[in-house]
Amino acid sequence: MALRHHRLVRGVLEEDCLGGRALRCCGTRFAAGVADYNVSHNGPLGSNNSQCSDPDSMSSHVYNPYRLNIVQSCITASGVVDNVIQEADGDYHVRLALDSQHSNLTNSANDQYQFGDLVVEVICALPITQADAVSACQNYTNNITIPSVNDRVIVTGPYVLDTQHSNWAEIHPVYTLTIS
């Protein structure tokens, strides 16, 4: 039996079904505090990419994966890069100003801590200087091209909330990134 998880994101109460390693989003959404009541069984948070796969078992190299609450197992989103930050755990944090059709992917924590941008994490792409993160990237190097500020990109990967960072929304890890 699937576990149901509820959360309020940008004034919308969302219900997800969680269960097992490959989590799937039920996507039941209820408008909170508005007269227009909307229920969607597909829960289109971003573009659902049915061709999505985890190349090279990339997800197994996420540092402290328990901190990530998977909202949708795979989405594709696009936007313009606002900033690229090198992290001690070997990841690049790419702050992505989303195109309008994906604006529902960010939440109040993104607004407060990430300048309204979606965090996009390219894992295991840098030398690791954080001792407890070394094992996550052992025997793995990410070959995704890192974008520059102002690049327009399309990214695909799991849509998650990072519970160690105020539940801001992320695509983590990035499975594919295309500079367009």
The residue that leads in pLDDT, 33 or 152, is 152
Q: Which segments of the chain are extended strands (E)?
A: 3-9, 12-18, 28-31, 47-48, 68-86, 92-98, 118-122, 152-162, 168-171, 176-179
pLDDT at 34 over 80: no
In one-letter notation, the amino acid at residue 156 is: T
pLDDT at 9 over 60: no
Query: Stretch 170-178: mean pLDDT, rounded?
Result: 96
Q: Where along the chain do the CATH 2.40.50.140 domains lie?
A: 45-179
* CA neighbor of 75 nearest in space, from 160, 147, 168: 160
The CATH class for the domain spanning 45-179 reads mainly beta
Give the pLDDT score at 94. 98
Cβ partners under 8 Å of residue 108, min gap 6:
10
Q: Name the band, by pLDDT with cuts 50, 70 and 90, for residue 136.
A: very high
On the CB side of 132, CA atoms within 13 Å amount to: 3
Q: Name the band, by pLDDT with cuts 50, 70 and 90, for residue 108.
A: very high
Give the pLDDT score at 2. 34
On the CB side of 108, CA atoms within 13 Å amount to: 7
The model scores a pTM over 0.75: no
Q: Name the band, by pLDDT with cuts 50, 70 and 90, for residue 54.
A: confident
pLDDT at 106 over 90: yes
The residue that leads in pLDDT, 97 or 39, is 97
Query: Stretch 47-51: mean pLDDT, rounded?
Result: 51
Give the pLDDT score at 53. 83
Lookup: tokens for 16? 């997800």
Cβ partners under 8 Å of residue 51, min gap 6:
none
pLDDT at 169 over 60: yes
Three-state SS annotation for 133-148: HHHHHCCCCCCCCCCC
pLDDT at 145 over 80: yes
